[in-house]
Amino acid sequence: MPDTLLSAANLDAGVALTAAITTELVAEIRERHDLWPTATAAVGRLTTGAALFAAGLKGNERISLQIAGDGPLGQLAADAWLLDPQTIAARGYARNPRVELPVDARGKFNVSGAIGAGSLQVTRSSDVGQPYVGVVPIHSGEIAEDLALYLAQSEQIPSIVALGVLANPSGVVASGGILARALPGADERAIAALETRAAAMPPVTQLIAQGADVAGLLRELAGDVELRSHHAMTVRFACRCSREKVEAVLLGLGADELLQLTRERDRTEATCEYCKTHYVFTAGELRELAERL
Ligand SMILES: [Zn+2]
């Protein structure tokens, strides 16, 4: 079944909710990167967060989340954009995919230990104009709380963020998340009611593993808050890399540097960090690029 995302709102109460199930997306990222379970949980949560943030994007807008931590995972990155008005594309990686830490007493992944201390950067960009960049220090390292802290500090939006990835050495069992945002002029009682329900709610992965769909996830958090204007989307893995983009990077080296490369080696290779696609350029192809300059 394809991954889905559902947004809904109650404009009287001033709350907007989005839920996503990202099991297939995170399974694909895990497979492409050979992520170990703790790394799967970290990259899966961040990429799910990017997909949830992308629900409000338009046209060529893009959201990028980057975590620079001093833990064993190294840098973590995820981004999401629209493939079409009904489809969100997302991708993510960890600098060090083979990270596995012991689970805690409740059986939860030690994602904060794998991330360490550092910062979270959120970039909103499009093909035109300057990107909007916000940076906050890593607060808990559990990612959901860090994204909520970012929304509060950088965008002045009170929010509730829940993210979960259930993974084992043989695969991804369930992955998903919920984002609730207060709209300007929100009813404080509605926000407080959502916070109470969020605190008492089972983990999203448990709900998904028990068969909940995105509408079920939204109902679980919304409770008595009636939701309207539902908008459903599909979520899937995609990458933005291409041979043309790698060529552009090589051209940026300049003709002398390219010709130097052709003397040093028969083949020049580049691997996309996000999708692991391998691009190979022969010495002859590099010479052709140098001639273009
Ligand atoms: Zn790629």
Q: How far is the CA of 158 from the centre of ligand 1 (A)?
A: 34
Q: So what's the pLDDT on residue 163? A: 97
Q: How far is the CA of 32 from the centre of ligand 1 (A)?
A: 10
Q: Determine the Cα–Cα distance for residues 240 and 219; give it in Å rounded to an integer.
A: 34
Among residues 205, 187, 189, the alpha carbon closest in space to that of 197 is found at: 189
Q: How far is the CA of 244 from the centre of ligand 1 (A)?
A: 12
Q: How far is the CA of 60 from the centre of ligand 1 (A)?
A: 18
Q: Determine the Cα–Cα distance for residues 174 and 206; give it in Å rounded to an integer.
A: 8
Q: How far is the CA of 116 from the centre of ligand 1 (A)?
A: 27
Task: Report the percent of the chain where pLDDT is more than 90.
Answer: 90
Q: How far is the CA of 49 from the centre of ligand 1 (A)?
A: 20
Cβ count near 188 (within 10 Å): 11
Q: How far is the CA of 277 from the centre of ligand 1 (A)?
A: 6
Domain 243-292: CATH superfamily is HSP33 redox switch-like (3.90.1280.10)
Q: So what's the pLDDT on residue 142? A: 95
Query: Are the C-beta atoms of residues 165 and 41 closer than 8 Å to each other?
Result: yes
Among residues 49, 37, 113, 111, the alpha carbon closest in space to that of 78 is found at: 49
Q: How far is the CA of 220 from the centre of ligand 1 (A)?
A: 36
Please say if the pLDDT value at position 122 is more than 90.
Answer: yes
pLDDT digits (tens, 9 = 90+) for 208-222: 999 999 999 999 999
Compute φ and ψ for 25, nearest 5 degrees. Answer: -60, -50
How does residue 288 score in pLDDT terms, banded at 50, 70 and 90? very high
Which is more confidently placed, 108 or 18?
18
Task: Report the percent of the chain where pLDDT is more than 70.
Answer: 100
Q: How far is the CA of 79 from the centre of ligand 1 (A)?
A: 12
Q: How far is the CA of 84 from the centre of ligand 1 (A)?
A: 19
Q: Please state the pTM of the whole predicted model.
A: 0.94
Please say if the pLDDT value at position 46 is more than 90.
Answer: yes
Q: So what's the pLDDT on residue 209? A: 94
Domain ranges of the chain: 3-237, 243-292
pLDDT digits (tens, 9 = 90+) for 180-192: 999 998 988 888 9
Among residues 194, 212, 293, the alpha carbon closest in space to that of 6 is found at: 212
Query: Are the C-beta atoms of residues 28 and 43 closer than 8 Å to each other?
Result: no
Q: So what's the pLDDT on residue 188? A: 86
Fold of 3-237: Hsp33 domain (3.55.30)
- Three-state DSSP at 9 gives strand
Q: How far is the CA of 239 from the centre of ligand 1 (A)?
A: 5
pLDDT digits (tens, 9 = 90+) for 63-112: 999 999 999 999 999 999 999 999 999 999 999 999 999 988 777 899 99
Q: How far is the CA of 260 from the centre of ligand 1 (A)?
A: 26
- How large is the average pLDDT for residues 5-13? 95
Identify the DSSP state of 14: T
- How large is the average pLDDT for residues 224-238? 94
Please say if the pLDDT value at position 232 is more than 90.
Answer: yes
Query: Are the C-beta atoms of residues 176 and 39 closer than 8 Å to each other?
Result: no
How does residue 224 score in pLDDT terms, banded at 50, 70 and 90? confident
Q: How far is the CA of 222 from the centre of ligand 1 (A)?
A: 37
How does residue 170 score in pLDDT terms, banded at 50, 70 and 90? confident
Please say if the pLDDT value at position 206 is more than 90.
Answer: yes
Q: How far is the CA of 92 from the centre of ligand 1 (A)?
A: 10
Q: How far is the CA of 91 from the centre of ligand 1 (A)?
A: 9
Please say if the pLDDT value at position 169 is more than 90.
Answer: no
Q: So what's the pLDDT on residue 70? A: 97
Q: How far is the CA of 31 from the centre of ligand 1 (A)?
A: 14
Q: How far is the CA of 55 from the centre of ligand 1 (A)?
A: 22
